[in-house]
Amino acid sequence: MAMTSAPVALTEPGALTIRAWRDYDEDACALPGMGLGTVEVTGPAEDRAARLWELGVRRVQFAEEIDLTAVDDADAAAQAVRRLCLIRDLTAHAVLVQWRLRLPAEPDDGWRDLGHLQPPGTLTGPVDPAAALTQWREQHYLCKCLWRQGPGFVQIRDRRWGDLRRFTAEEPAYHRAIARLAYGAPPSAVPEAVAADFLQERLVRRTGPLLWWLPYRVNRWIQEAMAI
């Protein structure tokens, strides 16, 4: 990852550019030495959030709105998924994320698929975006939709809908599908029945021609792990 004092062009396929700071508090971020400037986020997708955390990043800002109404093009879909997956992984690390989101016109609860992510600063698309964004902010907390790997099983705990929905998968096909969809893949990359199960439970989201995995593996517990 490279840090500069001014925006840089993407020089690596799949790279993302963000602004970063060393603290959560906006006033603290204005102090000398707290700003990390513009960071070009490169390297394996699964390592990016952890590497930012190790650099001391506690607050990030995405300059461009993530527009999920313009993802029919494969490249645009891939770029949107990369950003959303980074927000997902940063949320898991308890990094404060400033971003903006535009959703397709869809039912008012359509935002709940993403309701476990750090709430965006602005939301466009729902019938009543102000009400949806207020709900998102008021109801968000860490560990809202997570998964963990056990010996021979994967367990997902999902509280995006107000109650606890727990899923346990022991079949290897589901484990492989999670790995393949972690950072976006075409539906053909996983068995049709597995993709259908994940879509039915809204554990994956379709973005253009891609499916991507929504729950995150938490890195910062809000209380003892057994209570989550």
User: What letter would DSSP give residue 103?
Assistant: P
Q: Write out pLDDT tens, residues 90-119.
A: 999 999 999 999 998 876 678 999 999 999
- Between 112 and 2, the higher pLDDT residue: 112
Give the chain's end-to-end CA distance (angstroms, integer). 33
- Mean pLDDT taken over the chain: 89
- Mean pLDDT within 124-144: 93
- Mean pLDDT within 119-142: 93
Residue 223's pLDDT is what?
A: 52
Q: Write out pLDDT tens, residues 176-208.
A: 999 999 999 999 999 999 999 999 999 999 999
Residue 15's pLDDT is what?
A: 81
Name every residue whose Cβ is closer than 8 Å to that of residue 7 and which is 6 or more positions away in sequence: 17, 38, 63
- Of the pLDDT bands very low, low, confident and very high (cuts 50, 70, 90), residue 77 is very high
Sheet holding 66-67, edge to edge: 66-67, 100-102, 122-124
Could you give the percent of the chain with pLDDT greater than 70?
88
- Mean pLDDT within 52-59: 96
